[in-house]
Every structure is written in structure tokens, then in C-alpha cells.
Amino acid sequence: MKTKCLECDGDIELPEDAIVGEIVTCPDCGLDYEVSKVTPKGVSLKKAEEIGEDWGE
């Protein structure tokens, strides 16, 4: 299935068995999103950076 990037409106491919909490990356702008909701119609995303985890260097 597919969803839209919130930032650049590009198509993001998702596995059929996507689960809440899964991290997906927009192939167009490179932003990371976390799957926040899964419904039969599709999924909702939120920006992964809002989680506040710091993977910094």
C-alpha cells in the first residue's frame, strides 16, 4: 500500500503488514515517519523526529 509524504507529497511505499510504530522513510525527501495508525483504508503517519529520540552523533 501507499501513503503520501506530509512534507513533499511524494508516494511512500508501505508493506501490507505495516504496524503502528514502524518507521518508514520518504524516498523523495528522506524524512522519517512513524506509522501512527493503521486502518483498512491506509495508514496515518507522524514525523519520527517528534518522538524525541536522539540518535545523534
Q: Which residues bind Zn ion (CB under 5 A)?
A: 5, 7-8, 10, 26, 28-29
Task: Give yes or no for a contact between 23 and 13, defined as CB atoms under 8 angstroms apart.
Answer: no
Question: Which is closer to Zn ion, CB of 13 or CB of 28?
Answer: 28
We find the least distance from the C-beta atom of residue 24 to Zn ion, in angstroms, to be: 10
We find the least distance from the C-beta atom of residue 14 to Zn ion, in angstroms, to be: 14
- The vertex-6 CA angle with 34 and 30, nearest 5°, equals 70
Give the strand pairing for 32-39 and 23-25. Answer: antiparallel
We find the least distance from the C-beta atom of residue 27 to Zn ion, in angstroms, to be: 8
